[in-house]
Copies of this chain bind each other. A is one copy, B any other.
Amino acid sequence: MALDRLIEGILECKNPTVAGLDPKLDYIPAFLKEKAFAQYGETLEGAAAAILEFNKGLIDALCGIVPAIKPQCAYYELYGWQGVKTLHETIVYAKEKGMFVITDGKRNDIGTTMQAYAQAHLGSVAVGSQTPEPFGGDALTVNPYLGSDGVTPLLDVCKAQDKGIFILVKTSNPSSGELQDQVFESGETLYSTVGGLCEKWGEALPGKYGYSGVGAVVGATYPEQLRELRRSLPHTFFLVPGYGAQGGGAKDVAPAFDQNGLGAVINASRSIMTAWKKNGVPEQDYAKEAAKEAVRMRDEIVGEIGGLSRP
């Protein structure tokens, strides 16, 4: 149930991290782009084909080391429906390799419209007598601005399909405080109010490791808030962006974890995808270099938190 499958993957890999797949064309080795453009031209289809090959190489190299991927929808929509097709094919490929897939769409809407997003990304849809899975992710990131009407339609789909969600609570960006840190008359900030709602919404999706199916996104760039939220939200699993290229280090993310080294999954995107560029290795070795960076990140974080153990 809930996010248990993610937690089991983390325990098996002994690695509480997730590889963000945000494949800008700039990050992709020239040989992959040349091959795709030779076949499909300098088109959206060509870009989408290059991204798919890039992703498959990364997934082949990372599976077994990293338990999960987090494709960022924006970088697929950037290449039109052809890019969105690559998003779907990436999800299917990662699941075949046993990885957990967090679709980073920050989707939000109300009622039957939110239900449509839930079915699209986590469930299935009726088409005549058939019920195909449109995208097939395991978890979806969700923006809470619309309140419970934007979240409860997801809970039924998560329950039926063994899926989870991550609600934006305190994001990693410099201006996240502009609204999220403001204090309501209740004495609570906006982000802590949303955190409290995550605990409440999560009651519908209890998990066997103590964490519900309603997780929270909390940025590595705000370690104090991370510590405070870990204490106040004992049943809420954290997805932590902001490690690596955004400036967060292992010491910054350590407060996200509980005494078993569970409770959070740390995302890195750019530092893994572009390790081949940064380290100046031949571009054919991009996936091998990504795996080396993922191992380095794993060892750094696991070293800092002192290991993981089954509760």
Residues of B within 8 A of A293 (CB): none
List A residues 187-245 near B (Cβ within 8 Å).
Answer: 190, 193-194, 197
- Cβ-based interface call for A279 (8 A): no
| From B88, B173, B183, B194, contact of A81 by CB (8 A) | B88
CB of B42 within 8 A of CB of A120, answer no
CB of A168 within 8 A of CB of B145, answer yes
Give the distance in Å from the alpha carbon of A37 to the alpha carbon of B46 in the complex. 29
Residues of B within 8 A of A298 (CB): none
Assess A171 versus B110: contact at CB under 8 Å? Given A78-B119, A134-B78, A190-B179.
Answer: yes
Residues of B within 8 A of A121 (CB): 77
CB of A134 within 8 A of CB of B80, answer yes
Residues of B within 8 A of A109 (CB): 72, 74, 106
Which stretch (A8-16, A56-64, A125-133, A247-255) binds chain B? A125-133
Nearest B residue to A119 via CB reads B78
Residues of B within 8 A of A125 (CB): 44, 47, 78-79
CB of A127 within 8 A of CB of B173, answer no
- Cβ-based interface call for A164 (8 A): no
- Cβ-based interface call for A160 (8 A): no
Residues of B within 8 A of A126 (CB): 25
Residues of B within 8 A of A120 (CB): 74, 77-80
- Cβ-based interface call for A144 (8 A): yes
Residues of B within 8 A of A98 (CB): none
| From B145, B147, B172, B185, contact of A143 by CB (8 A) | B145
Residues of B within 8 A of A138 (CB): none
| From B72, B88, B113, B135, contact of A75 by CB (8 A) | B113
Residues of B within 8 A of A179 (CB): 144-145, 147, 190, 193-194
CB of A114 within 8 A of CB of B74, answer yes
| From B42, B146, B174, contact of A128 by CB (8 A) | B42
- Cβ-based interface call for A309 (8 A): no
- Cβ-based interface call for A93 (8 A): no
Nearest B residue to A123 via CB reads B78
Residues of B within 8 A of A79 (CB): 120, 125, 127, 134
Give the distance in Å from the alpha carbon of A226 to the alpha carbon of B178 in the complex. 23
Interface centre among A74, A79, A121, A126 (most CB of B within 10 A): A74
Give the distance in Å from the alpha carbon of A72 to the alpha carbon of B146 in the complex. 16
Given contacts A24-B116, A106-B143, could you give 8 more A-B pairs where the C-beta distance is less than 8 Å?
Answer: A43-B130, A46-B127, A77-B117, A78-B116, A80-B134, A80-B135, A81-B84, A147-B180
Instruction: Please give me the 9 A-B residue pairs with the lowest Cβ-Cβ distance, nearest first.
Output: A42-B128, A147-B178, A147-B175, A80-B134, A81-B85, A74-B116, A110-B173, A77-B120, A149-B173
Contacts from A to B (Cβ < 8 Å): 22, 24-25, 33, 37, 42-44, 46-47, 72, 74-75, 77-81, 83-85, 87-88, 106-114, 116-117, 119-121, 125-130, 132, 134-135, 143-150, 168, 171-180, 182-186, 190, 193-194, 197
